Chains A and B, each alone.
Chain A
Amino acid sequence: DAKTTQPTSMDCAEGRAANLPCNHSTISGNEYVYWYRQIHSQGPQYIIHGLKNNETNEMASLIITEDRKSSTLILPHATLRDTAVYYCIVRVAESGGSNYKLTFGKGTLLTVNP
């Protein structure tokens, strides 16, 4: 899997948008960008994933640059409950026999402040 680079930590004010960057300059054409988060003492939680188009769901938006070498996860209105470690992962899609394991790095600790 391609490696990713994320800032160690970020702060955000409650109610403001949180923009979490991720660099994945060695991403391959068949690799997707996945985002997870882990709130203290809980299991990681799937947020969103995408290949090359921007994606949006009820939790967040994912913006992937045209060259696919970086992406940004956007939490449009951060709340205190969004304080967590956010992981950016690149992996191939799941299909029989492919190596699509999820490998977690250190992630970004996002702290949402009141």
Chain B
Amino acid sequence: DAGVIQSPRHEVTEMGQEVTLRCKPISGHNSLFWYRQTMMRGLELLIYFNNNVPIDDSGMPEDRFSAKMPNASFSTLKIQPSEPRDSAVYFCASSFRGGFFGPGTRLTVL
């Protein structure tokens, strides 16, 4: 198995632009998590899904952030409009008895 796949690996955009991060979980895993990591705040859980249904989105910082999981093999995290304070590494993880993380997307908002 290729593990959790995230794209893009790096994204540089300007303030106000829409950003879409993508994740392909490990086949057979029924839970998916989105995290954000910064030096100041560490690893923050944004949202997680079970069987494609959002279970807890209390970590989503504000309405500019949205996440979807249209099927078991794909999820997106969208930021619209993006702001410089959204700059961070965003991780996707899928889980079955233990979370397995992707390599992350490093987002820079100028």
- A contact residues vs B (CB 8 Å cutoff): 34, 36, 38, 42-46, 49, 93-94, 96-97, 99-106
Q: Contact check: which of B42, B48, B95, B104 meets A104 at CB < 8 Å?
A: B42
Determine whether the beta carbon of A106 is less than 8 Å from that of B42: yes
Contact of A94 among B31, B43, B91, B103 (CB under 8 A): B31
Contact between chains at B97 and A44 (CB < 8 Å):
no
What are 27 contact pairs spanning A and B, CB under 8 A? Answer: A34-B98, A38-B43, A42-B103, A42-B104, A43-B93, A43-B102, A43-B103, A44-B91, A44-B99, A45-B101, A46-B98, A46-B99, A46-B100, A49-B98, A94-B30, A94-B31, A94-B95, A96-B50, A99-B56, A100-B31, A101-B33, A101-B48, A102-B45, A102-B95, A102-B99, A104-B35, A105-B42
Size band of the interface chain B makes with A: 20 to 34
The smallest beta-carbon distance between A12 and chain B, in angstroms, is 23
Contacts between chains A and B (CB distance < 8 A), count: 55
In the complex, chain B residues whose CB is within 8 Å of the CB of A94: 30-31, 50, 95-97
Q: Which of B38-76 contact A (CB under 8 A)?
A: 42-43, 45, 48, 50-51, 55-56
Closest Cβ neighbor of B33 among chain A residues: A102
Q: Which A residues lie within 8 Å of B93 (CB)? A: 43-44, 102
Complex Cα gap A96–B51 (Å): 8
Chain B residue nearest to A105 (CB atoms) is: B42
Contacts A43-B93, A97-B50, A102-B99 supplied; 6 other A-B pairs, CB < 8 Å: A44-B43, A44-B93, A44-B101, A97-B55, A102-B45, A103-B45
How far, in whole Å, are A49 and B45 apart by their CA atoms in the complex? 20
Report how far A111 CA is from B47 CA in the complex, Å: 31
Q: In the complex where A43-B104, A94-B31 touch, is A101 in contact with B98 (Cβ < 8 A)?
A: no
